[in-house]
């Protein structure tokens, strides 16, 4: 899997996102193991996969928040409180 950009992830269904996340987490586990045992040809691949996981988790969380208006209102209150404390 090449890096999944934000726009590309928006087209995925919720089930596809979860499947992709689990596959990517397995992949980083394998990469870490290979890196510890014999080294990787390109150690920056670890960074790319780690960032892909972050993108996937961010998109999943964004959808969770969008589906729950109460959580969205709570987020707005927190942001307002932070703004007032500055």
Based on the structure, what is the number of domains in the chain? 1
Give the integer Cα–Cα distance in Å for 18 and 9.
Answer: 11
Q: What is the pLDDT of residues 67-77, one digit of tens each?
A: 887 767 777 78
1 located within any domain: no
Residue 47 lies in a domain: yes
Please indicate, yes or no, if residue 20 is contained in any of the structural domains: yes
Query: Over the stretch 44-65, which tens digit does the pLDDT of each residue have?
Result: 999 999 999 999 999 999 898 8
Residue 76 inside a domain? The answer is yes
**Model confidence over 8-33: pLDDT tens digits?**
888 889 899 999 999 999 999 999 99
Q: Which domain, by its residues, includes 47?
A: 6-85
19 in any annotated domain: yes
Read off the pTM: 0.75
Alpha-carbon dihedral angle through residues 23, 26, 27, 31, given to the nearest 10 degrees:
180
CATH number at residue 31: 1.10.287.310
Is residue 16 in some structural domain? Answer: yes
């Amino acid at each position: 899997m090449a890096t999944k950009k934000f726009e590309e992830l928006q087209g995925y269904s919720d089930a596809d996102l979860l499947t992709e996340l689990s596959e990517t987490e397995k992949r980083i586990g394998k990469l870490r193991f290979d890196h510890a045992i014999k080294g990787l040809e390109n150690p920056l691949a670890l960074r790319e996969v780690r960032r892909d996981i972050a993108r996937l988790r961010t998109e999943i969380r964004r959808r969770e928040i969008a589906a729950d208006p109460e959580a969205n209102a709570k987020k707005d209150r927190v942001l307002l409180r932070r703004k007032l404390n500055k």
